Amino acid sequence: MAESLLTIEHLTKKFDENVVLDDLSFTVKQGEVIVVVGSSGCGKSTLLRCINALEPIQSGKVKLSDEEIIYGSKTLAKQRQQIGMVFQSYDLFPHLNVLDNISLAPVKVQKRNKSEVREEAMELLKRVGLEDKAMSYPRQLSGGQKQRVAIVRALCMHPVLLLFDEVTAALDPEMVREVLDVMLGLAQQGRTMIIVTHEMQFARAIADRILFIDKGKIVEDTDPDTFFEHPSTERAKQFLNIFNFERSK
């Protein structure tokens, strides 16, 4: 049985008096793919930011391999190297080409050999179909290509956990597939991932577990077939009815 890699214990996050995450607890096993779904504003993206300590929390604990991740701690920078986070906005440096964007952190932060890092980066670019774009700049890439570069950049840091925050939200529909295919490939490799998405068909295809969040609480935590075919709460049924209606239009 796979070991727990990430443990969330009674996590509460507030913005002023607004409770965004309300006493959340769950674990993620090594190699597990968790997909977090829910209506806009329910706290999905905030959850990812709290896991990576990009936001302080009011109470609870986030533990990676039994080591607590604490906002502002002296060990945070080193812990973050184990967590790769991919945002919907890509966050590539516009003045650096693709290869330099990918190589910068492994060389500067992890002090790894530059030639070895660049060799690995080229191999990863080849895997996602972007080997010919290594010397291109972000402005010369499509949205889907930028997002695949951002994924490669995260992978090159050798993270034990990958977080994806609505990575297809800013893409044109024809570009979504190329990014989702890369993520499906990562799941098949046994990568541990937490994915926030509105792509419900993709969620069902890739997830080992679905976390449905509503008003800052985990309402359902189950396998994808159960969630999509036999949701146990009225709130989940309402959410899926809206999704099914939009898909049938």
**C-alpha–C-alpha distance, residues 220 and 132, integer Å:** 43
Cα-based angle 186, 57, 157 (whole degrees, multiple of 5):
30
CB within 8 A of 81, min separation 6: which ones?
109, 110, 157, 159
SS3 83: strand
Q: How many CA atoms lie within 13 A of 3 on its CB side?
A: 5
pLDDT band at 248 (very low <50, low <70, confident <90, very high): very low
Q: Which two tokens stand for residue 68?
A: 């607590």
Q: Residue 215 CA to chain centroid, in angstroms?
A: 20
Give the tens place of pLDDT for each residue, 28-82. 999 999 999 999 889 999 999 999 999 999 999 999 998 999 999 999 999 999 9
Cβ atoms within 10 Å, residue 177: 13
Distances (CA, A) of 161 to 49, 192, 228: 13, 5, 26
pTM of the shown model? 0.93
Q: Is 209 left (phi over 0), alpha (psi -120 to 50) or beta?
A: beta
Give the residue carrying structure tokens 């980066």.
Answer: 121
Residue in 179, 209, 216 with CA at minimum distance from that of residue 194? 209
In this prediction, residues 114-118 reach a mean pLDDT of: 97
**C-alpha–C-alpha distance, residues 199 and 37, integer Å:** 9
pLDDT of residue 209: 97
Looking at the DSSP assignment, which residues form a beta bridge with residue 33?
193
Q: Using the 8-state DSSP alphabet, how is residue 133 labeled?
A: G
* CB of 188 closer than 8 Å to CB of 180: no
Give the tens place of pLDDT for each residue, 180-230. 999 999 999 999 999 999 999 999 999 999 999 999 999 999 999 999 999
Cα-based angle 119, 122, 126 (whole degrees, multiple of 5):
140
Identify the sign of the CA torsion 115, 186, 160, 150.
positive
